[in-house]
Amino acid sequence: MKLIFLGTSSGVPSRYRNVTSIALDLIGARKEIWLFDCGEGSQQQILQSYFSSTKISKIFITHLHGDHIFGLPGLLSSRAMSGTKDPLTLYGPVGIKHFVDTALSISSAYIDYPLIINEFTEGELFDEGDFKVSAYSLKHRIESFGFRIEQAPLAPNLDIARLEQQNIMKGPWLKNLKLGETIQLDDGRIIHGKEYLLPAKQGLKLAIFGDTMPCENSLLLAKEVDVMVHETTHEHALADKAAQYGHSTTTQAAQIAKEANVKCLIATHISTRYFKETDFQRLLAECQTIFPNSYLAHDFMEFEL
């Protein structure tokens, strides 16, 4: 899987950074893109990426502040004009349906693909077997959520090295062995597939936070995930300002990553007061002092899980 940061600015866009939107490419698991938030200009950012809006099958909205939803009506409309008939499911807090329906109705937008809008409260959104997604309530000026994405354990691979050691040559029967079935080779040997399976790998776990100040649910949302994407609107010195507006600082996000025992922290949703050339290294250092495996996102950054 891969994360693509389409926008990393908080509140308003800057000359070099757009407002929040994150794409999750389910490479190797599904031929789909999931989008998390859709600030103004997100479809323009998508046009500069390697994928198109027609590949997006699900959109998740963390909260209803404009820098997270103002790009949504335009993206939905442009997707229809592309000619795709593939369905799209939109998940968002209560009020997202009214926002979308009103914008599309007033603008006379014509959506001719199946658009399903699911308004949610805290809890499991779906479990489709290979992926489960849950929403956790956070602490912001308005209702805000984070999403925990959990991939099911991956199917075990065959121990090819052991098969080669025993002169079991490659062939169409490898598919049967991978399923744990028993086969008979041309030389008469009986091979039990279950005896040649490697231990199953755990699926990936990912936490994507909406806007929030530190809260109890932060640790539950991020517990032992492979990657935690968390807002860091302000530096440590502006903790009072961050709290005033329901946001987090660099050090607060890093402390959550440490306490939740995550493997990696990616900080995003960074105030426009900060510039990549002059400030980002300092902000990253504040994170890494507490949690060394931290990264600071920038627009069009790609991160493979």
pLDDT tens-place string over residues 149-182: 999 988 888 888 888 888 887 778 788 888 888 9
Q: What's the confidence (pLDDT) of residue 157? A: 83
Joined tokens for residue 150:
């959990």
pLDDT tens figures, 20-45: 999 999 998 899 999 999 999 999 99
Among residues 25, 37, 67, 211, which one is catalytic? 67
Is-catalytic flag, 67? yes
Q: Which domains does the chain have, with CATH numbers?
A: 2-154+201-304 (3.60.15.10), 160-190 (no CATH)
pLDDT at 261 over 90: yes
pLDDT at 241 over 80: yes
pLDDT tens figures, 206-233: 999 999 999 999 999 999 999 999 999 9
From the number of C-beta atoms within 10 Å of its C-beta (0-12, 13-18, 19+), residue 114 rates as: exposed
pLDDT at 186 over 90: no
The β-bridge relationship of strands 88-93 and 182-184 is: unpaired
Q: What's the confidence (pLDDT) of residue 200? A: 79
Q: What's the confidence (pLDDT) of residue 3? A: 98
Q: What is the pTM of this model?
A: 0.90
Helix axes 250-259, 280-290, angle to 10 degrees: 30
Average pLDDT, the chain: 95
Q: What's the confidence (pLDDT) of residue 14? A: 95
Beta carbons within 10 angstroms of residue 268's beta carbon: 27
The β-bridge relationship of strands 145-151 and 205-208 is: antiparallel
Contact at 8 Å (CB) between 151 and 130? Answer: yes
